[in-house]
Amino acid sequence: MAVKKWILREADKEKASVLSEKFNIDPFIAYLLVSRGIDTELAVSSFLSDSFEIVSPFHFADMEEAAFTIGDAVDAGEKICIYGDYDCDGITSTALLYSFLKEENADVFYYIPQRLTEGYGMNTEAIDAIKAQGAQLIITVDNGISSLEEAEYIYSLGMRLVVTDHHQLGDTLPRAEAVVNPYRAENELEFRDYCGVGVVFKLICAMYEGEVSDLVEQYIDLVAIGTIGDVVPLLAENRAFVKAGLQHMQRCPRKAIEAVKRAAGKSTFTAGEIAFLLCPRLNAMGRMGDAARAVEFLISEDEQDCTVKYEQLCIENTHRQETEREILDDVNEQIAENPKLVAGRVIVIAGERYHHGVTGIVASHVLEKYGKPTFIISIDEDGIARGSARSIEGFHIYDAINACSGDVIRFGGHPLAAGVTLKAESIDAFRQHINEYALSAYPNGVPMTLTIDCKISPNYLTLELADMLSLLEPYGAMNPQAVFGVYKMKLLSVTPLSEGRHVRLELEKKGRRIRAVKFGTRFEDFPYRAGDTVNLAVKIAKNFYNEKYYVSVQAVDVRLSDTDEERYFSEKTAYDNYRQTGRGTADLYPDRDTCAVIYKYLKAHGGYPYSTEDLYFRLQQQVTYGQLLFALKAFAQAGLITISDTIQLNPAVGKVKLEETKVLTTLRERLIIG
């Protein structure tokens, strides 16, 4: 995986002390809250409160018009269509509004476009089908804000439109009876980061004539699921939605949630467990099959039916995982055959007929491995290529695509995720131009980061701390589970777990021993050994086993304690820049002495079974990143080593002249080294 830059949060200790006394909370928890920007009495009170206070829905522009339009249609017996979306947010939004309108005796049905054949948002063919079913009013949920032409088409057919959405606004709003969107400038909102189902919940609050508590009791679980699934900030009202939703799922779950509990063998859920167990399965139905079936699962009131439908969701999720692995295998083969695909600032990889439903997930995997914004593009039989992009914090992928808009047919998205459509013959030009843009706009590179809440002694990794941290739950976007830095720990042992899929570490510092588990790291891929002194980024939790609670320590990241990360990122940027531009400085060149240091280490260890990044950190005090990479290429060209996923020493080939290898000859010429 890509090396991440550790960012240590900072906080005003005096402010934390005042809040600790005011709210009678542990000073350490108060410090964590302040470090996350929750640093006023009002903010802390809201964050810690278990009460459910609804911000007036009429603080949204057009909310009154939306409520009246829909209410009048219900009273008049008009047929209403809910136009949804195929992701978790769109599915829960559809289920919520459909269930509410059914309770209001509305003549209502829903339509969710097929991801593969129709794509995101509204389209005229779907509108024709909705018209044919007799609809007189269409209500969008989690989409519609950019459907300008489709909105006009709806009115040309004699239907009306209400838009509810949470995506960013364009220059022009679509024609509609009402457009409800938290990002409208006319809103009287302090908090705007609602997801689609949050906006729909505000809509039904505006329409309902009874107590809001009735709506909370019936629908808040759907709001919580969609809010978790759409990864919006779990702050302000979103946090209240999720807290109340999780409590509702424990107290009186709907039949669908009961089915999930039975399958998972759990009686309660955390937000993280919903994100892991349920949201991917709802998304998988939209990615691989028919998202309407996920809506049917959520609204079903029959226990056996929910059990069967949840099994179908699980089957589609397994299908999604298999398809994802197939595409990722093909991507990795392309990279192995052509390493230049990952040499630039932005990775652009295309393949024939990749499944559109999973290209975004594959892009996320590639991004995690290489630490670079990534496009995975599928080339269809018609010569049109469609792809998904994922980016890292600090690299605005939408702006990057916009800078290369001449290469694409259409695009859309956000700072961290986007979609593109272009002609297959334009892919190479697009790759070149977006890398040129990245080099110009981000000359120093943009590293992936890991936020550390604070440094901590291993003595404080206790059950007491785990109990105190429960005040921070539920976790999610903008309120992640706390990560602590534990520094200068001596590694005593590394033990494989679960047939080598994970590793357990035993560590010690000043007589205090701890055990930590590094999930998702195979034993043979873990580059540290007994005797190393390492820094760890860890999370802690409580585990119940054999009638007793234990503290569980999860290692999120591990590195050698003498790692100089600033130097690493600086040297890696210099190396990447050279590969893209052919320009660099003399400290990229490995002279004879530097090559001797590297080869001597390889010979002493019989090669190197881990990544070149790990090898660099072993040798960081003696070589630069560029020197190491170019020396390894020279060794390979001279026949001394073979580089694949590991570095293998080759049998002796006699005396070689490394300086005469092509890579070092070219490097000397370009760097003008005599």
The string of pLDDT tens digits covering residues 346-360 is 999 999 999 999 999
Q: Above 60 in pLDDT, residue 340?
A: yes
Per-position b or e across 400-435, b if 16+ CB within 10 A of its CB? bbebbeebbeebbbeebbbbbebbbebbeebbebbb
Mean pLDDT of the chain: 95
The angle subtended at Cα 442 by Cα 619 and Cα 5, nearest 5°, is 40
Who's near 596: CB < 8 A, 6+ residues apart? none
Phi, psi of 374 (to 5 degrees): -135, 135
pLDDT by residue (tens digit) across 12-61? 999 999 999 999 999 999 999 999 999 999 999 989 988 878 899 999 99
The predicted-structure confidence for 553-579, as pLDDT tens digits, reads as follows 999 999 999 999 999 999 999 999 999
DSSP for residue 644? S
pLDDT tens string 116-161: 888 888 999 999 999 999 999 999 999 999 899 999 999 999 999 9
CB distance 303 to 258 below 8 Å = yes
The answer on pLDDT for 652 being more than 90 is no
Give the residues across from 557 on adjacent strands. Answer: 537
Nearest one of 447, 436, 442 to 613, comparing CA atoms = 447
Sign of CA dihedral 90, 208, 51, 99: negative
Q: Residue 642, by phi and psi: left (phi above 0), alpha (psi -120 to 50) or beta?
A: beta
Least confident range from 81-85, 167-171, 524-528, 613-617: namely: 167-171
pLDDT tens digits, 491-516: 999 999 998 899 999 999 999 999 99
In angstroms, rounded to a whole number, what is the distance separating the alpha carbons of residues 483 and 409?
42
Query: What's the rounded Cα separation, in Å, for the pair 274 and 653?
Result: 58
Per-residue confidence (pLDDT) for residue 170, from 0 to 100: 83
pLDDT tens for 363-384 read: 999 999 999 999 999 999 889 9
Give me the torsion for CA of 363, 367, 373, 375, rounded to 10°: -20
Residue in the block written with tokens 């995690």: 368
Query: In this predicted structure, what is the pLDDT of residue 115?
Result: 85
pLDDT tens-digit map of 612-644: 999 999 999 999 999 999 999 999 999 999 998
Alpha-carbon distance of 243 to 247, in angstroms, equals 6
Structure tokens given for 52 = 């459910």
pLDDT of residue 550: 87
pLDDT of residue 121: 87
pLDDT digits (tens, 9 = 90+) for 392-402: 999 999 999 99
Helices (H), 537-611: 565-581, 592-604
> What token pair was written down for 530?
């007994």
Residue with tokens 């998972």: 264
Contact 434, 404 (CB under 8 A): yes
- Round to whole Å and give the CA distance between 410 and 572: 33
- Chain centroid to CA 118: 24
| Interatomic CA distance for residues 467 and 228, integer angstroms | 23
Question: CA 409, 414, 416, 419 torsion: positive or negative?
Answer: negative
pLDDT at 433: 97
Beta bridge partners of 389: 375, 418
Give the pLDDT confidence of 426-460 residue by residue, as tens digits: 999 999 999 999 999 999 999 999 999 999 999 99
Residues 274, 301: contact at Cβ < 8 Å? no
Q: What number of H helices and E strands is found in the chain?
A: 24, 20
Average pLDDT over residues 461-470: 94
Instruction: Summarize the confidence of residues 229-247 as an average pLDDT.
Output: 94
Which range is least confidently modeled, 17-21, 107-111, 463-467, 655-659? 655-659
**8 Å CB contact between 121 and 144:** yes
Predicted confidence (pLDDT) at residue 605 exceeds the cutoff of 70: yes
In this prediction the pTM is 0.91
User: What phi and psi, each to the nearest 5 degrees, are found at residue 276?
Assistant: -90, -40
| pLDDT given at position 674 | 57
What is the average per-residue pLDDT within 521-532?
Answer: 96
Amino acid 89: pLDDT: 96
Q: Which of 118-122, 186-190, 292-296, 468-472 has the lowest mean pLDDT?
A: 118-122
| 308 has a pLDDT exceeding 60 | yes
Query: Taking 90 as the threshold, does the pLDDT of residue 214 lie above it?
Result: yes
